[in-house]
Structure 1
Amino acid sequence: MVSAVFHSPIAAAEGSAIKTEASPANSTGASKLKDAKTATPAWQEQPTPGFDWSGLLLKVLPPIFGIALLIGIWAMVSIGTASSIPSPLETWKQAVVIFSDPFYSKGPNDQGVGWNILFSLKRVAVGFGLAAVVGIPVGFMIGRFEFLSRMFNPLISLLRPVSPLAWLPIGLLVFKGANPAAIWTIFICSIWPMIINTAVGVQRVPQDYMNVARVLNLSEWKIVTKILFPSVLPYMLTGVRLAVGTAWLVIVAAEMLTGGVGIGFWVWDEWNNLNVKNIIIAIFVIGIVGLLLEYALIKLATAFTFEEVKS
Structure 2
Amino acid sequence: MNEPKTLRAKAALLSAFFLAFILVIWYTATLPTKTAAPTLTAEQSEYAKLMGKDPQAGGGAPSKSAFPTPAQMGSTIVGHLSDPFYDNGPNDKGIGLQISYSLARVGLGFSLAALFAIPLGFLIGMSPLAYRALDPFIQLLKPISPLAWMPIALYTIKDSSISGIFVIFICSVWPMLTNTAFGVAGVRREWLNVSRTLQVTPMRKAIEVILPAAAPTILTGMRISMGIAWLVIVAAEMLVGGTGIGYFVWNEWNNLSLTNVIFAILAIGLVGMALDLVFAKAQKAVTYAE
Structural mapping, 1:54-133, within 5 Å: 55=7, 57-79=9-31, 83-133=65-115
**Gap regions ≥5 residues in structure 2:** 34-62
Q: What is the TM-score of this pair, normalised by structure 2?
A: 0.84
Give the deviation of 1:298 after TM superposition: 1.0
Structure 1 Cα separation of the partners of residues 89 and 4 of structure 2: 54
Structure 2 Cα separation of the partners of residues 68 and 166 of structure 1: 40
Structure 1 runs (4+) deviating above 6 angstroms are 50-53
CA deviation vs aligned residue, 1:28-51 (integer Å, no higher than 9, x gap): xxxxxxxxxxxxxxxxxxxxxx99
Match of residue 140 from structure 1: 122
Match of residue 291 from structure 1: 273
Which residue of 229, 234, 243 maps to 2:225? 243
Q: SS of the residue aligned with 1:239?
A: helix
Give the deviation of 1:238 after TM superposition: 0.8
Cα root mean square deviation, aligned: 2.1
Structure 1 Cα separation of the partners of residues 5 and 207 of structure 2: 47
Structure 2 Cα separation of the partners of residues 214 and 186 of structure 1: 39
**Identity across the alignment (%):** 44
Which residue of 242, 255, 260 maps to 1:260? 242
Which residue of 204, 222, 233 maps to 1:222? 204
How many residues end up aligned between the 2 structures? 259
Distance 1:58 1:152, change over 3 A: same
CA deviation vs aligned residue, 1:179-230 (integer Å, no higher than 9, x gap): 0000000000001111011100011111122222222222211210121111
Structural mapping, 1:137-216, within 5 Å: 137-216=119-198
Structure 2 Cα separation of the partners of residues 184 and 52 of structure 1: 43
Structure 2 Cα separation of the partners of residues 286 and 238 of structure 1: 21
Match of residue 251 from structure 2: 269
Distance 1:142 1:78, change over 3 A: farther
Return the letter of the residue paired with 1:62. Answer: L
Return the letter of the residue paired with 1:108. Answer: P
Q: SS of the residue aligned with 1:307?
A: coil
Structure showing greater Rg: 1
Distance 1:152 1:110, change over 3 A: same
Give the deviation of 1:305 after TM superposition: 1.5
Return the letter of the residue paired with 1:235. Answer: T
Structural mapping, 1:9-20, within 5 Å: none
Q: SS of the residue aligned with 1:261?
A: coil
CA deviation vs aligned residue, 1:218-277 (integer Å, no higher than 9, x gap): 221121012111111111111111111111001100000100110000000000000000
Structure 1 Cα separation of the partners of residues 269 and 116 of structure 2: 28
Distance 1:156 1:77, change over 3 A: farther
**Gap regions ≥5 residues in structure 1:** 1-49
- 1:234 equivalent in alignment to 2:186: no
Give the deviation of 1:69 after TM superposition: 2.9
Structure 1 Cα separation of the partners of residues 230 and 115 of structure 2: 18
Return the letter of the residue paired with 1:220. Answer: P
Return the letter of the residue paired with 1:304. Answer: V
Structure 2 Cα separation of the partners of residues 82 and 145 of structure 1: 66
Q: What is the TM-score of this pair, normalised by structure 1?
A: 0.78
Judge which range, 51-60 or 225-234, deviates more. Answer: 51-60
Structure 1 Cα separation of the partners of residues 112 and 250 of structure 2: 27
Judge which range, 82-91 or 182-191, deviates more. Answer: 82-91
